[in-house]
Every structure is written in structure tokens, then in C-alpha cells.
Amino acid sequence: MCAPAVTDGSIHTMEQRRLGSSDLDVPVLAFGTGTFGGAGPLFGAWGQSNEVEARRLVDICLEAGVTLFDTADAYSGGAAEQILGSALKGRRHKALIATKIGLPNADDDPNAAPAQRLTAALERSLQRLGTDHVDLLQLHAFDARIPPEILLDTLDAFVKAGKARHIGVSNYPSWRLMQSLAITDQGNHSRFCSHQVYYSLIGRGYEAELMPLGIDQQVGALAWSPLGWGRLTGKLKRGAPLPAGSRLHKTSEFAPPVPDELLFGVIDALHCIAEETGRTVPQVAINWLLQRPTVTSVILGARNEAQLRDNLGAAGWTLSHEQMRRLDDASQVLPDYPHTLYWQQGPFRQLNPPPVP
């Protein structure tokens, strides 16, 4: 049964959290620029924001206290960085910029050594963004071709040169992240303070290894696609076709598969709790993430002002313990071996972060 709706009607200041082991405080909601420029088979399918529209979205974010903007040189072939840089012109000091490099790029020199290739990629990103540094430089994906020592030496040089304040990774396997952190600590290099990960109520694979690693090693999570590639917007109905405007018509082949039983069980729970709280389904889904261990910030993706304003309503309030439990139960899937053996034992199911020192 769903309880009556309860709302407080108050306005909240955007909460700030420390990003992993760094000295950087970031808002609990960030804005992702994957829709800026809208070119390419994947990012173009998410919708498109031109420079005028992008500036309006950036304006709304800054007014709401969302000062962290995430982008990448792979988004629209660099156009997203350029559009973000243009939107922040004259107010760079008001924003925190996180960008990602490392994916194959048309501008790469195929004969360049890894350090040279990454250095050139960063320089291009800085030029497009119109800044002399980024606040967080992230490796967009794990590249087994680059020895970790060379990679870490290169990133450390970026930090020492003042071109990146902090460094992080994205979509990394747990073993390589732990290996990199161990090498860093031995060599006194700059340390990865963040991990940008796919995490949602219908995508909880992050919890098996990467979340415990983040707790132990103080690596903050920046959660992307919190609405499960558009499945948790509240528009999907059991037994009904996809809505005409759903991005899943174009992105379903990229999105991790989700069994219908799991998906609609989660959607049912979200609708019920949205009714209880007087919130929207996306707001409830994002708020659940904000209460999960290691999650520092949730990256919002919005194609228009209405979507952005709705998503911003996910912060400034909290689901009850009982509501969190119901969402946990509706979305829980046993992890793969060997974690299943431990997860089925009661005490191991609870992930309790250690106290912040």
C-alpha cells in the first residue's frame, strides 16, 4: 500500500561533499554534457543542445548550485567541450570542470607514444574549454595497452604542471584501479580520487567490488545514467510499447539489458514512493543513489529545461530508511561468483562505510 503524499515545500541549498581523498568539495548533483552538440551514433541519440540551449541549461545549473560540469573529448567529437567552454566564458571561476580523455580520437597521432597522445588530448581539451586547467581530469576507459607506471607518471605530470587539479578514472575494472592506487602510493604520485561509474536502481553491478574498494581506498563515485538509460523516467508502462519520445528507441543497443520482471518491479516501487513523498519518479530514483555509500555526486543528463528542473528536485531531502529498504529489495540482484557466496550470508549483505576521518 502507498501512504499519502508528504511534502515540505521548502527550498534547500545544494549539499556539498568531499570528493574521495581529495580536498575538493563538489555538489551532490552534477551536470553532464553528453547532449551538447549531439553528434555521433551514441551521444547524438540522447538528444541535442546547441550553444543557446546549452547556455540556458548551464545558467539554470549555476543558479541551483550545480557547479560541477562533466564533459569529454569524445562527446560530439569535442564539440561538447567547446560549447561548455563558451557557456562558461566570463564565469569560469564559478564552475568546476571535469573532462575525460583516453578514448580513441580522430585527432590522435597513431604513432605517438601513450604519454604524448594523452598530453596532446589534454591540450586540445583545454583549448576547447577555454581554460588553462580542469578541476578533475578523468581517464574515460581502461586501456590495457598502456603500462600503469607510464600512465600514472603522465597524469602526475599534468597535476604538477597545474593543468589538472585532481585525477580520476571512468568505467575501470576493480583490479586495475586497485593496482593503480598501490603503484601511486609506492611512488608518491597524484592519486585517483574519483571513479565515474554507471550506477542506478536497475544497474547495481558497481556494488560488488568497486563500492567496497571505494570505501576502503576513499575513491568517490560520480554516478552516470542514474535513470538507467531513460528507463526510470516514469514513462515506461508494463506491457506497453516504448513512448514515442523515449531515447531507448536509439540507445537500447548500448544500454545494459534489464529483465522486464526486475525493471517493472523497480518502476512499481518508484511510483508508489513517488506518490508517498509528493516527488517524481526520477527524483526518487536519484535520491536513492544520493544515499548510497561512496556516491559523492550524481551526474544529471537533460535534453531540455523541463527535464533539468525536475531532476534538480532530487536533492535537498531524503527518503526514509523504510523507503530505501523497499527500493533495495525491489532492485536487488545477486552478484556473480565469488560474491554470491558472501552476499547470501546476512552480515555480508550490508555495506557500511567507515567513519570519515
56, three cell numbers = 540556458
Phi-psi region of 294 (alpha: psi -120 to 50; beta: other; left: phi over 0): left
Angle, CA of 160, 161 and 164, to the nearest 5° = 80
- The one catalytic residue among 75, 198, 199, 206: 75
**192 phi and psi, to 5 degrees?**
-65, 125
Residue 298's DSSP bridge partners are: 29, 223
Contacts of 31 (CB under 8 A, 6+ apart): 57, 58, 61, 66, 68, 69, 70, 299, 300, 302, 308
Cell, residue 314: 532530487
Q: Are strands 16-18 and 25-27 parallel, antiparallel or unpaired?
A: antiparallel
Three cell numbers at 90? Answer: 566570463
Annotated active-site residue 172? The verdict is no
Q: What is residue 90's three-state secondary structure?
A: coil
Task: Say how far apart CA 92 and CA 283 lie, in whole Å.
Answer: 29
Q: Helix 321-331 to helix 281-290 angle, to the nearest 10 degrees? A: 100
Can you read off the three cell numbers belonging to residue 50? Answer: 546547441
Note whether 296 and 306 are within 8 A (CB): no
CB of 61 closer than 8 Å to CB of 24:
no
First to last CA, the chain: 41
Tell me whether residue 220 is exposed, middle or buried, using C-beta atoms within 10 angstroms of its C-beta: 0 to 12, 13 to 18, 19 or more: buried
| Helices and strands (H, E) in the chain, number of each type | 13, 10
CA distance 193 to 217: 9
Catalytic residues: 75
